[in-house]
Amino acid sequence: MSLTQVSSNKCAGGFQKVFEHESTELRCKMKFAVYLPPKAETGRCPVLYWLSGLTCTEQNFITKAGSQVLAAEHGIIIVAPDTSPRGCNIEGEDESWDFGTGAGFYVDATEDPWKKNYRMYSYITEELPKLINSNFPSDPDRMSVSGHSMGGHGALICALKNPGKYKTVSAFAPICNPVQSPWGQKAFSGYLGSDRDTWQAYDATVLAASYSSPPLDVLIDQGRDDQFLSANQLLPDNLIAVCSEKKIPVVFRLQPGYDHSYFFIYSFMSDHIKHHAKFLNA
């Protein structure tokens, strides 16, 4: 599978790059960002996949999160894909900010007209890692996943649905219980249909209830002043309760004064990189 380099910038001793490729899962051109730390010039490195939130592209994370210095220090490749297919000419794909373009929700759609292109779950868990492992000096046995908001939801379900695939998982303000969230209900009904039983396969709180092994250490940061927390879009308490019951180790930090923005992500990104490094470099 051929890659076209869109940009390359020296950063923190390594390189921040963006590539474009034809996706077989999504049947369109897709962009992803990849940070290559200095260590990637001499050997294989672990990979952290970052999943962004609603309305984002691959650009938001690489320009706002401040991840590169810590990634360079710990020798971690960071891959940040786009959040949905684009330019598929699907009727209605650009009508709403929280559904369609920029809002793939990391599911494999089963409903027309979305099911042909909106297969973000398979893209993130299968196609993209194969692409990364065949084109960059990555270690396929050392992967982890993180994300923000819709992407935090994506990170959690990727880890919970694939025991052992990811060394660890973290999230900023994730949508923890989308079957109970207005955002999730809108997206799931559109992509997955009216049968709510099918929605549960993409709900972190539901998945945690049946998770068994191997052990999975989870770090979640949530801004106390996040407007979407008070609007019952995120519902972290539901997930924390289930993880406590199932004895899934979760560090949940409610951060006073912080909102839902990248200022919040930037403030605690170093802690998340260190969390992943502990397990990826063990």
Report, as residue numbers or ranges, the catalytic residues: 149, 226, 260
Q: Which of 267, 242, 100 is nearest to 173 (CA)?
A: 267
Q: Tell me the C-alpha distance between 210 and 231, whole Å.
A: 27
Instruction: Report which residue type is found at 271.
Output: D
Are 281 and 74 spatial neighbours (Cβ–Cβ below 8 Å)? yes
How far is CA 56 from its chain centroid?
A: 12
